[in-house]
Structure 1
Amino acid sequence: METFIHAYSWIDIRFLLQGLWVTIYVSVISIILSFILGLICGLVRYMKIKYLSAAVGFVVDIIRNLPLLLIIFFTYFGLPKLGLIANPTIASIVALVVFEGAMLSEIVRSGINSVPTGQMEGARSNGMTYGQAMIHVVLPQAIRNMVPAILSQFVSLIKDTSVATIIVLPELLYHAQIIYSQNTSYLIPMYLIIAVMYFIVCFCLSKYANHLQKKYL
């Protein structure tokens, strides 16, 4: 018990909260950018644009079947060889956006496919262009269908930020490792407290997802 009391000193808790802030910051940026990327790629794949849709689908399939850790290694160690990205935070965001964007693109494509084709045909017959029908009629219905899967993917993204500790991203897990490396008796207390922190963040997002699902579905 004394070990836990010492491990949870205000100095250590504050240090962990700094790591949690980095986790949330990277997650929020990655969530916004990966949703935009996933939406664009999903639309391109759905519209079956000659050559472009096939090329995007090929790249998405490759990324979806690669481990996130490999993509993080590539962005951090590979891109600097091309004169790009050396910062762990930027490298982590790029890797997460690429990986999660590929996952979300499949959710978007499936969500659009779930909307009856008659919705598009009805909108076009009322004088809308293809783009107007997609934006005002099809997408709103598709997004309602996609909400649970998208938010579930966002929860996974938050947990995936811990993988970036391998490239010294100063997120929650990395800060915990620094603390217990100075005193190995703190290892269990640190893993318990970061488990609680991850649970709180992910649980809140999951409850929000359930709220949206009840509200819009």
Structure 2
Amino acid sequence: MSKTLSADALDTLFFRARTQNDWLDKPVTDEQLHALYDLMKHGPTSMNTSPARLVFLRTPEAKARLLPALAPGNVDKTRAAPVCAIVAYDRRFHDRLPVLFPHRADASGIFEGKSDLIESTAFRNGSLQGAYLIVAARALGLDCGPMSGFDAQKVNDAFFPDGDVKVNFLCNLGYGDSDKVLGRLPRLSFDEACTLL
């Protein structure tokens, strides 16, 4: 059952929210990261595939493994952020379908041996879950700085050497410095982006 959120809630999730590049020296706790996942996991994915896999980098040592893969402009802000989430997707997601989609006994078999279907399903639904991560973080009072400036192969080699899990994007998490945030950039109008048929 759905209902319209308050104007304040919509401001928190969308209208006043901004991508953050500068971070306050304020920690994000493990409890907050658990709460974040426990909220985002409820967003829908096709056949409940839930392919997203998250690695939360919280320590300087963990981030040091990531920094060589980053574009130069992303290094300092990632080092300064309390947490950097590696948002990845598992191409063996279908192994979990007997538990996640139990009412269809052949669900995992739909994907076996079909690498293109596996890749597109994992990437699409993992991307959805990455978007849920951002909305959930904002709903819980955290700011986000999603990034795509990195060498994916280096990230995969450093964090997912078995090859089944692949990075999608990165997202810094914490409390942004509101004095340094950019203003709202233009967005396309309804008529520019949408078609009614």
User: TM-score, with normalisation over the residues of structure 1?
Assistant: 0.27
User: TM-score, with normalisation over the residues of structure 2?
Assistant: 0.28
Where relative contact order (Cα < 8 A, 6+ residues apart) is larger, the structure is 2
